[in-house]
Structure 1
Amino acid sequence: MKPIPRLAGAATLALATLLGAQAVAEPAHGIAMYGEPALPPDFEAMPYVNPDAPVGGRIVEANVGTFDSLNPYIRKGNVPWQIRFHLNETLMARSLDEPFTLYGLLAETVETGPNREWVEFTLRPEARFSDGDPVTVEDVIWSFETLGTEGNPRYASLWTAIERIEQTGPRAVRITFNTDNRELALIAGMRPILKKAQWEGIDFAEEGDSLVPIGSAPYVIGDYELGRYVSFRRDPDYWGWGIVPFRAGTYNIDEYRLEFFGDETAAFEAFKAGIVTTQREFNVGRWDSQYDFPAVQQGEIVKSIIPHARPSGMTGFVMNTRNPLFADWRVRDAMIHAFNFEFINETMTGGAQPRITSYFSNSPLGMEPGTPATGRVLEFLEAYDDLPPGAIEGYALPVGDGSERNRANIAAALDLFEAAGWTVENGVLRNAEGEDFTFEILLETGSSENQAIIDMYVQTLARVGIFPTVQLVDSAQYKERTDAYDFDMTWFRRALSLSPGTEQYLYWGSAQAQVPGGRNLMGVESAAVDGLVDRLLTSAETEDFYAAAKALDRVLTAGRYVIPIYQWNISRIAHDANLHYPETIPLFGDWTNWQPDVWWYEEG
């Protein structure tokens, strides 16, 4: 196993550094939410890459499910999630070592107004699309407007915050905002830039299954078969080689291939057979027991453990509060009590993985479970009168005794149901009108681990008189139904970073609760959540930023919207022994834009 230096205390140190003095608003090579970027204008490479890495080889990654589109910028279609990170570049690029910090990519400089009421980007004269045409200000303006009005809902909120976007020089574009939000300048830097000419005469919002977007990144889509595979090829003529310091030591792999399988078992067998060359394992029990096949024993496959300092995020099973059945927090609390985590964890992982305790757990942004709010956190919370029970007093997930019967928590669940108007009659949980407590759990076909967890949960629910149906659907149906919020309970995963910002509105903001295709699956509509996200984005001091994050964490966790399962505070990656990564691991660890971006292939 490769040694992993540093990371101890890195999250706190990085945040404290970034939450310092305000940066001077003048043309610069990078931008930070607070303070200034850590790297100087003349930096040669990011600190977590190998600038001397050899070029060549291939990396093959397994995906479970299918896809019917290669356009990740619209609502229509089921698209491999990796495409939007590897095809069209952005004006700025995110550092994996500094929360809230971007460095120039398509843009050579960035400038902001004194209060970040506007941001101006100057394009690099060398910037080109993969077909050789230059990236122009016209492309930038068209991309912002088109994505904001016709694209995926993830792009809409920025567009509504833009007062105007205009060309201010041959290669310069200025965006003026109508909202007081310091992060908007950074969000603008992360919008993908598409080629306007490619979409002339084409319905942008509908085209997805027959057109591959022309990008400007080091990878181009070389070959694909819808539903089966996508092959990214390294572009030797990429415009940024030797020009963009952020790109030094990245995209060293000649081919990055995504293979799609019907279920997790088939994907794992493909890895064992050498068809797939890298495998992330999220179950420590399997990691310890099933990764002893011949290729591992012979050293052809290496098991690497990658640390990180990111928040745990939230993973588990979300309850849809749009359904009146789950609108009552007492019902949701009862559902959490009935979930026998300790027994399930022992069964699935041998009890080796700790449970997620809150949305920002495992980080300095997380609340302290079970303790009352104090100081600035308390002050922020007291401004709202729609707080869920426990947000101020302290909330912690129930802990079972590890036995299969889980008597104490089952008794607590029944008490909570009764308080909400549900009692067991002839072995069935019913309300005063005689209606059964019944609902559907929606799962995607092939998610065998989730199915195994739900099977155990269903058996437990029978003890309190609940008999849900479990509906398995293919990936296309799953996306269609979750986009329409047509579910009662389903699998849920929100990865959170050390730089929480405007995306929090998308995850649980009231304005997103009824927007089709949105990310607020639980349907949160809370003045406290909205206000604390506002506070997070307008904090000018370190103390306020931390306090706002901790207060938001308390409200979301005490809201009891999700039944959390175990967390992954490290990444477990088994991979071809010829695939290598730098010994310096970034603060974010195994995050988007780490594999395959900084890996390389080298035999020996």
Structure 2
Amino acid sequence: MRLLGAVIINVCLFASSSLLADSHPSHGIAMHGDLKYPADFSHYDYVNPQAPKGGTLKQWDMGTFDSFNSFIIKGNVAAGTNLMYDSLMDQAADEPFSQYGLLAESVIMPEDRRWVTFKLREAARFSDGEPVTAEDVIFTFDILRSKGSPFYGAYYAGIDRIEAPNPQTVTFHFKGENNRELPLIVGQASILPKHYWQDHAFDSPSLDIPVGSGPYRIDSFEAGRSISYSLRDDYWGADLPVRRGHNNFRQMRFDYYRDATVALEAFKAGEYDFRLETSSKEWATAYTGPAFDDGRILKQELSNGNPTGMQAFIFNTRRDKFADPRVREALGYAFDFEWTNRNIFYNAYTRTHSFFSNSEMAATELPGPEELALLEPLRDQVPPEVFSKVYRAPSTDGSGNIRGELRQGMRLLQSAGWEFKDNKLVNSKTGEPFRFEILLVQKEFERVIAPMIRNLERMGVEVDIRIIDVSQYINRLRSFDFDMVVGSFPQSSSPGNEQRDFWHSELADMPGTRNLVGIKNPAVDSLVDTLIAAPDRASLVTAARALDRVLQWNHYVIPQFHIATYRIAYWDRFGMPKVRPAYSLGTDTWWALPTDTAASAH
């Protein structure tokens, strides 16, 4: 048996050396094009490499938590657990999709990207002092795919096998499909310690403090109420180019609140330091008071280069009443964005029309030759409007008078087999009334929905709002137990394998995935596969636009709105680099100012 083991090891070594012979080590990977930073770069352009270490950044979160395991679908995970983990590669925040070595010292892959080899840094250590090895990498992917959230099964579906010819080298072999993003995807994964998790239940929520290789460890916590992380003095990667100028706070603290209004008042009272505001009403009316007047709290709107994705009313098409796209389109006429923006949002938002809004991947013109080459083979499987019209969500004059829009919606409902009878919309065959529930977790969103419900009632549709706590909401989303929810499909500047989790038929009935709509559409599946396999940036953009059109014209959602800025407020006791990254807010590059320095500004 010992001889056989030696033979197997030698075969693996031979196979790996044969693979490596055709390629050269690199310090990073770019999805398309060249890397911005050379092999000898000392730090990213958007950091201050001399930033001092010290102080505390206090933030907030909503609801509660009962677990530190963010890799499974059970439990409510505490904020900030990502601070405890490192990945093989680090993603630059000023490039669309490029990665540079973190746990991995170098990376090797062939032109066709059918495999990728990472050489680990010998200095890499977990927080308990144990080295990070190739065995930990293999264990991570094995346990995520077998016991982790269903997302991982889809995200890593292209991995065929993983080999470790020695403790510092790990090679991923990919399946025959053309998937150029896979080397970057495996580079993103948080690497878990095998020696810790083999003695702990991975598939159950737990408040046992885990071992990680990242810059922070859990310092203290009060279950469900607060959690604090401390910067590791023994953090192995502090001087790496990808870490220099990051992780400058000695303490990171998150306090939990059950009420958003109370949370905002706590911020103004100095209970925590920083807010990223998502409510236009609060931003316009609530950020006032002595601390704002004298400059102790600063308020800014910062532009960002990220696609804003799609925030929307999401139909659960598993429900029979929403199975017909004519019904879904009809209900969209009840949402009067222009009136809502004027009267509720202080004209802060832009109507969303695309699943890739605020990017070149949005379908804003009729399809060109390259797109048509993808769409023509699918002509019999997609709505005809895909070829002849540019999708725009319904618009109004903002007056609140939408009788014409409601009539158009009624015509669609009638064509789908519904009729207006005794002031109710009923099924013309069964007499069943059209009734559904909108599930919410944020009470503040009730004011946005209320005007749409009044319009739906004019169409004879009965709508209920149900507001539940965070734990119930998460569980109901995971099990697809809803009629309609308000949700979002976020997009990056380089979409790829996550699109499978959003839209692919294979995941429509798998609890815990992000295919909330329940899409089972072979045309969508085909375009998702084409996007993932895009060999260059131009092909990626073309595939994204084609996918966008098919999603738009199937009316899977009622698009809402977006804003292409970060709205932030923070107490004036922090320094930040002069250069901001294009694709991130960059709070992980801030630092605490000395108390006397912050005070002298006033």
TM-score normalised by length of structure 2: 0.92
User: Are 1:550 and 2:541 matched, yes or no?
Assistant: no
Match of 1:200 among 172, 179, 198: 198
Do 2:158 and 2:179's aligned partners in 1 also have CA atoms closer than 8 Å?
Answer: no
Taking the aligned partners of 1:409 and 1:38, their CA distance within structure 2 comes to: 50
**Alpha carbons of structure 1 residues 351 and 160: separation in structure 2 relative to 1, 3 Å:** closer
Residues 526-557 of structure 1: CA deviation (Å, up to 9, x unaligned): 22221112211222244322211111111122
Pairwise CA distance, 1:352: 2.7
**Alpha carbons of structure 1 residues 234 and 291: separation in structure 2 relative to 1, 3 Å:** same
Taking the aligned partners of 1:451 and 1:520, their CA distance within structure 2 comes to: 24
State how 1:206-245 maps to structure 2 within 5 Å: 206=204, 208-242=205-239, 244-245=240-241
Pairwise CA distance, 1:160: 3.5
Taking the aligned partners of 2:23 and 2:487, their CA distance within structure 1 comes to: 40
> What does residue 458 of structure 1 align with?
453
| Aligned AA (1:263) | D
**Alpha carbons of structure 1 residues 210 and 64: separation in structure 2 relative to 1, 3 Å:** closer
User: Are 1:150 and 2:147 matched, yes or no?
Assistant: yes
Pairwise CA distance, 1:316: 2.0
User: Are 1:166 and 2:157 matched, yes or no?
Assistant: no
> What does residue 338 of structure 1 align with?
334
| Aligned AA (1:599) | W
Taking the aligned partners of 1:438 and 1:580, their CA distance within structure 2 comes to: 53
Q: Which is worse superposed, 284-293 or 171-180?
A: 284-293
> What does residue 326 of structure 1 align with?
322
Q: Which is worse superposed, 539-548 or 135-144?
A: 539-548
Do 2:155 and 2:500's aligned partners in 1 also have CA atoms closer than 8 Å?
Answer: no
Taking the aligned partners of 1:535 and 1:305, their CA distance within structure 2 comes to: 37
Q: How many residues align?
A: 570
| Aligned AA (1:534) | D
Pairwise CA distance, 1:322: 0.7
SS in 2 for 1:429: strand
Taking the aligned partners of 1:531 and 1:581, their CA distance within structure 2 comes to: 44
Taking the aligned partners of 1:451 and 1:67, their CA distance within structure 2 comes to: 24
**Alpha carbons of structure 1 residues 306 and 376: separation in structure 2 relative to 1, 3 Å:** same
Unaligned runs of 5+ in 2: 1-21
User: Are 1:180 and 2:174 matched, yes or no?
Assistant: no
Q: Which is worse superposed, 538-547 or 143-152?
A: 538-547
Taking the aligned partners of 2:72 and 2:551, their CA distance within structure 1 comes to: 29
User: Are 1:116 and 2:107 matched, yes or no?
Assistant: no
State how 1:412-431 maps to structure 2 within 5 Å: 412-431=408-427
| Aligned AA (2:529) | D
Match of 1:359 among 351, 355, 358: 355
Pairwise CA distance, 1:113: 2.7
Do 1:580 and 1:601's aligned partners in 2 also have CA atoms closer than 8 Å?
Answer: yes
Taking the aligned partners of 1:467 and 1:161, their CA distance within structure 2 comes to: 44
Do 1:92 and 1:190's aligned partners in 2 also have CA atoms closer than 8 Å?
Answer: yes
SS in 2 for 1:544: helix
SS in 1 for 2:333: helix
Residues 99-139 of structure 1: CA deviation (Å, up to 9, x unaligned): 22111000000111331111111110110011111111111
Unaligned runs of 5+ in 1: 1-23
User: Are 1:528 and 2:523 matched, yes or no?
Assistant: yes
Taking the aligned partners of 2:150 and 2:574, their CA distance within structure 1 comes to: 36
Pairwise CA distance, 1:25: 4.0
> What does residue 99 of structure 1 align with?
96
User: Are 1:599 and 2:590 matched, yes or no?
Assistant: yes
Residues 362-416 of structure 1: CA deviation (Å, up to 9, x unaligned): 1111110xx4322211221212122135322222111012122322211111111
SS in 2 for 1:246: coil
Do 2:505 and 2:520's aligned partners in 1 also have CA atoms closer than 8 Å?
Answer: yes
Do 1:64 and 1:262's aligned partners in 2 also have CA atoms closer than 8 Å?
Answer: yes
Over the matched positions of the two proteins, sequence identity in percent amounts to 40
Pairwise CA distance, 1:158: 4.5
Taking the aligned partners of 2:377 and 2:31, their CA distance within structure 1 comes to: 26
Pairwise CA distance, 1:81: 5.3
State how 1:41-60 maps to structure 2 within 5 Å: 41-60=39-58
Do 2:67 and 2:75's aligned partners in 1 also have CA atoms closer than 8 Å?
Answer: yes
SS in 1 for 2:385: coil
Do 1:148 and 1:158's aligned partners in 2 also have CA atoms closer than 8 Å?
Answer: no
Which has the greater radius of gyration?
Answer: 2
Match of 1:316 among 312, 320, 327: 312
Pairwise CA distance, 1:196: 0.8
Residues 267-324 of structure 1: CA deviation (Å, up to 9, x unaligned): 1111111112111112334323221211111111011222111112011210101111
User: Are 1:376 and 2:370 matched, yes or no?
Assistant: yes
Match of 2:296 among 275, 300, 307: 300
User: Are 1:585 and 2:576 matched, yes or no?
Assistant: no
